[in-house]
Amino acid sequence: MDAAAAAARQRQQLHVVVFPWLAFGHLIPFLELAKRLAARGHAAVTYVSTPRNVSRLAPDVPPELSATLRLVTLPLPRVAGLPEGAESTTDVPHDKGELLRAAFDGLAAPFAAFLADACAAGAEDAAGFDRKPDWIVVDFPHHWVPPIAHKYEIPCAIFLSFSASMLAFHGEKSRAANAAGDKKHLGKKVEHLMAPAPRTSGYLPSDLAYRRHEAKYVASAFQPDDSGVSAAERTNQLHRRCPLSFYRSCPEAEGPPCQLLADIYGPRFLPTGLLAPTAGSNGGGEAAADLMRWLDAQPERSVLYAALGTEAPVTTDNVRELARGLELSGQRFLWALRVRGTGGDDAAATPPAARDGLLPDGFERRVAGRGVVCAGWVPQLRVLAHTAVGAFLTHCGWGSTVESLQFGHPLVMLPFVGDQGIVAQAMAAKGVGAEVARNYDDASFRGEDVAAAVRRVMVGEEGKVFDRKAKELRAAVLDEERQGHYIDVIAEHLRGYKYGGGD
């Protein structure tokens, strides 16, 4: 490439600011989107978050992207009652979540100052970070960003790091309610959320809907929090103000729900691809090394990896029944037992004492040799990539599900809140796993049902079918050329948009 062509390409390069919500299920896919835009030469990307989150994510930025991807910190305002050092949902107990949202809303002024400086220092005809930002990519709670960006005539795009199945379910429910003039429901009522969406034949499983305990949790998103604005209203405002929307999926992974989203929202509602993170060393120190050595000693595809993330409201009874189920299953297992609100970036973040009183008496003694409980941080990608792992017991958060898909593991599914139940049903419909039976009114489950689901997925002919279908899905979603194409299409839309105002 000659100098003139190189200069022309550099002038085409956008400057994109990405600004995720303070949860690792959002921080990580936003970083993956940023890395892909930068790596494919489409943009110089400024990734904005708080200091502790940036320090946790910095090791995941390849050195070769240092010229096109930078991490910028904004100090999180202090809020009375918020634990010291808490900067993500991982760091706070469930009942402190509204305090984190209040602190997040306090980032409006620091972000406005950052954007003012970026626009003052940058020029529209410059390149890289010397260029005035062309776009701001925001998350679902950022309803206060578009008015700030409007002062500088910078458009915003919303990136929803959710599954296509969940987004299509809500989109079709909203479309039907609007057509019927029934806006009062629009997902606010538990019974409404428990009913399948109409007109989804061929796009979604016909019985896809939230179960009662899931519906209660989702309905709460339509209730105003301490800020006076509900999570649903924040997202609705962004949809009205953002000319582009992205979602974390693709037809290869979910198929018809992606087609339904295009039908509902039109051509400016774009898939990003799966944005599957790469499996590096993941750190973890000696504790992680011990886990990997234990896996090295296990037969190929013999171990169930069990992890329920950091967001699920897991009770003491849930932990005990899960322990009973793992014991009754007779299968080898590695269980990442996490306690929300104790940190998350340290292998010793959840000390062994935290599980005192959680596990049944004598449990670890009885499963010694075939089962390991890790009360702390686990390098999940390294574990899932290990040849000893044969299945994944998961809460079906979309991020964890994506990670499992890239390694072709069948799923034992134990969803709790949010979109997890919808994801579990969609994956079950694809034949890549089995859901643990439970009481859908109070979300309780029995150890016997855990054991039954584990054996279905890991033992016998049915287990072979689950494994085969998971491998087939992996082959479909690991086409790097196709995944890169979704990023190229997004970049074309970003380049082609002409700012037309708005508030």
The better pLDDT of the pair 224, 136 is held by 136
Written in H, E and C, the secondary structure of 43-63 is EEEEEEECHHHHHHHHHHCCH
Identify the pLDDT of residue 184: 59
Query: Which regions of 213-272 does DSSP assign to beta strands (E)?
Result: 244-247, 269-271
What is the tens place of the pLDDT at every residue in 441-470?
888 999 999 999 999 999 989 999 999 999
The better pLDDT of the pair 65, 220 is held by 65
93-112 average pLDDT score: 89
Return the SS3 of 107: coil
The answer to whether residue 136 scores a pLDDT higher than 70 is: yes
Identify the pLDDT of residue 1: 46
Closest CA relative to residue 435, chosen from 252, 214, 229, 281: 214
Identify the pLDDT of residue 280: 52
Identify the pLDDT of residue 448: 97
The better pLDDT of the pair 176, 444 is held by 444
Closest CA relative to residue 420, chosen from 447, 446, 445, 393: 393
The answer to whether residue 111 scores a pLDDT higher than 50 is: yes
Q: Residue 50: pLDDT band by 50, 70, 90 thresholds?
A: very high
The answer to whether residue 11 scores a pLDDT higher than 70 is: no
Identify the pLDDT of residue 344: 42
Q: Residue 294: pLDDT band by 50, 70, 90 thresholds?
A: very high
Answer yes or no: are the C-beta atoms of 15 and 134 closer than 8 Å.
yes
332-336 and 156-160 beta bridge pairing: unpaired
What is the tens place of the pLDDT at every residue in 190-214?
888 999 888 766 788 888 999 998 9
Portion of the chain with pLDDT greater than 90, in percent: 60
Closest CA relative to residue 47, chosen from 146, 159, 162, 151: 159
Q: What are phi and psi of 494, to 5 degrees?
A: -65, -40
The better pLDDT of the pair 23, 93 is held by 23
What is the tens place of the pLDDT at every residue in 324-353?
999 999 999 999 987 554 444 433 334 444
Identify the pLDDT of residue 275: 94
Distance (Å, whole) CA 280 – CA 260:
35
The answer to whether residue 14 scores a pLDDT higher than 60 is: yes
Which has the minimum average pLDDT: 126-130, 166-170, 328-332? 126-130
The answer to whether residue 419 scores a pLDDT higher than 50 is: yes
Identify the pLDDT of residue 9: 52
Distance (Å, whole) CA 332 – CA 229:
46
Identify the pLDDT of residue 4: 45
Collect all residues with Cβ–Cβ distance below 8 Å to 229 and sequence separation of at least 6.
143
Q: Residue 47: pLDDT band by 50, 70, 90 thresholds?
A: very high
Return the SS3 of 122: coil
**How far lies 335's CA from each of 145, 245, 390, in Å?**
40, 36, 14
**How far lies 38's CA from each of 35, 62, 68, 137, 178, in Å?**
5, 11, 6, 14, 39
Identify the pLDDT of residue 465: 95
Which has the minimum average pLDDT: 39-48, 116-125, 296-305, 484-493? 116-125
Neighbours of 72 (CB within 10 A): 14
The answer to whether residue 154 scores a pLDDT higher than 80 is: yes
Identify the pLDDT of residue 340: 53
The better pLDDT of the pair 36, 341 is held by 36
Q: Residue 93: pLDDT band by 50, 70, 90 thresholds?
A: confident
181-185 average pLDDT score: 61
Q: Mean pLDDT for the chain?
A: 87
Q: Which domains does the chain have, with CATH numbers?
A: 3-161 (3.40.50.2000), 164-271 (no CATH), 285-477 (3.40.50.2000)
Q: Residue 21: pLDDT band by 50, 70, 90 thresholds?
A: very high
Collect all residues with Cβ–Cβ distance below 8 Å to 415 and sequence separation of at least 6.
214, 395, 396, 421, 423, 424, 435
371-374 and 411-413 beta bridge pairing: unpaired
Q: Residue 479: pLDDT band by 50, 70, 90 thresholds?
A: confident
- Two structure tokens written together for 211: 């179960």
The answer to whether residue 262 scores a pLDDT higher than 80 is: yes
The answer to whether residue 494 scores a pLDDT higher than 70 is: yes
Identify the pLDDT of residue 350: 41
